């Protein structure tokens, strides 16, 4: 990108991540002059570590063409004119803090309407990256990746488009103050920034800085300012508060769940397929089937990380209150546990029959070999230790009683691990919290501050594992970038129509 230093632009994007670079592209496509202000020594550092370096761009469930092809009931509705194909995308993988706080309720009407509107009016990830010359592929689980299987290709595609459009990169830029004056914004860098930086004067600002997820991989600088966050960068929350925009605190989501080290360590490094359930006492709150990975003192894997958002919000707060009051955690949240059903395709009755058959076939072998036809040996032995702790593993299988086989089956269908909370930002893949959706109009401009937009992780919306969070980065960046560019070039300001419609429904 251009390295010439300007002090006046139409649009400034604060934060050069996925959402920020996308916003810069769409603002520049409208004809606006754009600068990206990035605290790190280069833009896109978090892009490079997503998807274990492969960059999971999106998910097939967000593609309306796929919905039409594989969901015949939706196709019939479209043919009858019941709904537009642009509204077919599956948005059930997105969450706001208002939804997480009460898992029995749906998000607020406005949250749903705004998210649906944004996805319906923007390009799919496949369409967007095709415009950038990047070929994409879909894996067997519906996750979209660059054909190269390298996040570097994604960042290169974004930066090449920015360069073509004349977007200016201003890196190692630590924002100190932002002053609104005469319909413009004056952004001043921190004294002592790594390089000489001029005050940046702009007509529109897009805030694209998120929470400190992957904070261990961020460059933490000793410089501080009015808007410094815990990772040494620009705090979207502090700035939002300064312009009267309501927010909710950031919290880590998509994290491994902490558990008893004595239970997890013996199977560390192994994976199992299971139906994972969060239990409050013996009551299942939520469940998801997928692969579970065991760490030294935690459970991980896509299904565990997706469920962790509920633990993060409900459980951790309860633990904090309980410890502060010197009480038992169970007084506040029942007995919090994760239950693993290791044979979700079998009923308990069928499993017992299978175990009886295996016991007959392997009647002369030691117990430690009994379950190796179903699970890894270490997993099988931990199940046996839990189910029949008084029976030694060198016991011969034919000594097992019917009751003991039943106990083993019960543990296979309900292997429990206590919940000790979630790992924090060092292992979080995304963040919850941010600017409330109700504070933004249909183009993600703050209702209380004309000319200020919020995108990506700065907004209180997050998704499941599987490409949903990056998908939000692309569509929110496109929405705000296009709107900011049009507002500058054509004088078109965003409509309040969506807010008015929702407000009328809630009267």
How many domains does the structure of the chain reveal?
2
CA distance 360 to 319: 47
Q: 394 with 365: CB under 8 angstroms?
A: no
Tell me whether residue 323 is in a domain. Answer: yes
Instruction: Provide the residue-wise pLDDT of the chain in tens; the chain has 507 residues.
Output: 544 444 799 999 999 999 999 999 999 999 999 999 998 899 999 899 887 889 999 998 887 666 666 666 655 655 665 555 455 566 788 888 766 554 434 444 667 788 888 998 999 999 999 999 999 999 988 899 999 999 999 999 999 999 999 999 999 888 888 998 888 999 988 876 655 567 889 999 999 997 765 544 333 333 344 555 655 567 888 899 889 999 988 888 899 999 999 999 999 999 999 999 988 777 777 899 999 999 999 999 999 999 888 775 444 454 444 445 554 444 444 568 999 999 999 999 999 999 999 999 999 999 999 999 999 999 999 999 999 999 999 999 999 999 999 999 999 999 999 998 888 888 888 888 899 999 999 999 999 888 999 999 999 999 999 999 999 999 999 999 999 999 999 887 655 555 554 444 443
Separation between Cα atoms, residue 494 and residue 403, nearest integer Å: 68
In a domain, 392, yes or no: yes
**Residues 408 and 421 reside in one and the same domain:** no
pLDDT of residue 26: 98
Residue 321, domain member (yes or no): yes
Evaluate whether residue 367 is within a structural domain: yes
What pLDDT is stored for residue 431 in this prediction?
Answer: 86
Which residues is 261 bridged to in the sheet? none
Whether residues 280 and 391 share a domain: the answer is: no
Q: Both 356 and 382 in a single domain?
A: yes
Q: Can you read off the two tokens belonging to residue 186?
A: 């004056």
Write out the E strands in 110-196: 136-138, 143-146, 168-170, 175-181, 184-189
Q: Are residues 335 and 406 in the same domain?
A: no
pLDDT at 500: 54
Q: How far apart are CA 308 and CA 324, in angstroms?
A: 23
The answer as to whether 314 is a domain residue is: yes
Q: What is the pLDDT of residue 78?
A: 56
Domain end, chosen from 396, 416, 436, is at: 416
Same domain flag for 312 and 402: no
For residues 317 and 421, state if they share a domain.
yes
CA atoms within 13 A on the CB side of 81: 0
pLDDT at position 334, please? Answer: 56
Task: State how far the Cα of 388 lies from the Cα of 265, in Å rounded to an integer.
Answer: 19
Q: Range of 354's domain?
A: 348-416
Q: Could you tell me if residue 332 is inside a domain?
A: yes
Question: Is residue 126, in this structure, part of any structural domain at all?
Answer: no
Q: Show Cβ contacts of residue 383 under 8 Å, excluding neighbours closer than 6 positions.
A: 342, 371, 375, 408, 411, 412, 415
Q: Quick check: 351 and 343 in contact, CB under 8 A?
A: yes
Say whether both 268 and 326 belong to one domain. Answer: yes
d(CA 167, CA 1): 7
pLDDT of residue 218: 39
H helices of 253-315, in order, are: 261-264, 302-310
Cα separation, 292 vs 273, in Å, equals 6
Q: Which of 390, 425, 460 is the last residue of a domain?
A: 425
CB 29 within 8 A of CB 165: yes
Among 372, 395, 425, the domain-final residue is 425
Residues 308 and 355 both lie in one domain:
no
| Spatial separation of the C-alpha atoms in residues 137 and 145, rounded to whole Å | 5
Q: Are residues 297 and 421 in the same domain?
A: yes
Q: Are residues 338 and 402 in the same domain?
A: no
Rounded Cα distance between 480 and 24, Å, is 9
In the chain the first and final C-alpha atoms are separated, in Å, by 50
Residues 338, 370, single domain; the answer is no
Contact (CB, 8 A) for 119 and 62: yes
Determine contact, residues 249/460, Cβ cutoff 8 Å.
Answer: no
**Domain identity same for 299 and 421:** yes
> How many angstroms separate the CA atoms of 435 and 236, rounded?
8
Instruction: Please name the residue that has the structure tokens 């632009």.
Output: 9
Whether 295 is covered by a domain: the verdict is: yes
């Amino acid at each position: 990108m251009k390295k010439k230093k300007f002090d006046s632009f139409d649009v400034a994007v604060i934060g050069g991540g996925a959402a920020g670079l996308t916003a810069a592209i769409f603002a520049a496509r409208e004809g606006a002059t754009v600068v990206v202000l990035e605290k790190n020594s280069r833009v896109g550092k978090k892009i490079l570590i997503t998807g274990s370096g492969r960059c999971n761009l999106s998910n097939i469930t967000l593609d309306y063409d796929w919905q039409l092809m594989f969901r015949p009931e939706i196709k019939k509705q479209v043919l009858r004119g019941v709904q537009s194909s642009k509204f077919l995308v599956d948005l059930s993988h997105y969450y706001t803090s208002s939804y997480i706080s009460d898992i029995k309720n749906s998000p607020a009407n406005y949250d749903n309407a705004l998210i649906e509107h944004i996805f319906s009016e923007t390009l799919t990830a496949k369409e967007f990256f095709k415009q950038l010359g990047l070929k994409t592929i879909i894996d067997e689980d519906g996750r979209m990746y660059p054909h190269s299987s390298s996040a570097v290709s994604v960042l290169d595609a974004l930066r090449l488009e920015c360069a073509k459009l004349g977007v200016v990169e201003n890196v190692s830029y630590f924002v100190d103050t932002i002053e609104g004056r005469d319909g413009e914004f004056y952004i001043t860098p921190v004294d002592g920034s790594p390089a000489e930086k001029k005050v940046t004067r702009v007509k529109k600002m897009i805030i694209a800085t998120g929470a400190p997820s992957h904070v261990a991989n961020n460059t933490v600088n000793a410089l501080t300012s009015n808007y410094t966050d815990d990772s040494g960068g620009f705090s979207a929350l502090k700035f939002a508060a300064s312009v009267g925009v309501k927010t909710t605190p950031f919290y880590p989501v998509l994290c491994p769940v902490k558990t008893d080290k004595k239970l997890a360590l013996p199977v560390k490094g192994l994976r199992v397929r299971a139906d994972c359930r969060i239990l409050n006492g013996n009551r299942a709150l939520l469940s998801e089937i997928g692969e579970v990975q065991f760490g030294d003192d935690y459970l991980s894997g896509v299904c565990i990380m997706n469920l962790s958002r509920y633990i993060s919000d409900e459980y951790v707060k309860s633990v904090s209150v309980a410890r502060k009051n010197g009480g038992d955690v169970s007084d506040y949240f029942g007995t919090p546990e994760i239950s693993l059903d290791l044979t979700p395709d079998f009923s308990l009755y069928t499993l017992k029959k299978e175990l009886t058959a295996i016991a007959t076939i392997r009647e002369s072998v030691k117990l430690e070999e009994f379950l190796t036809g179903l699970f890894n040996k270490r997993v099988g032995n931990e199940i046996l230790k839990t189910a029949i702790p008084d029976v030694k593993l060198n016991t011969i299988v034919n000594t097992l009683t019917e009751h003991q086989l039943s106990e083993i089956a019960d543990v296979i269908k309900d292997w429990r691990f206590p919940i000790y909370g979630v790992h924090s930002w060092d292992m979080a893949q995304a963040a919850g919290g941010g600017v409330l959706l109700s504070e933004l109009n249909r183009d993600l401009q703050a209702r209380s501050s004309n000319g200020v937009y919020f995108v990506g992780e700065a907004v209180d919306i997050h998704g499941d594992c599987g490409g949903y969070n990056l998908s939000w980065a692309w569509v929110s960046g496109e929405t705000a970038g296009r709107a900011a560019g049009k507002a500058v070039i054509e004088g078109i300001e965003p409509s309040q129509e969506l807010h008015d419609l929702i407000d009328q429904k809630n009267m």
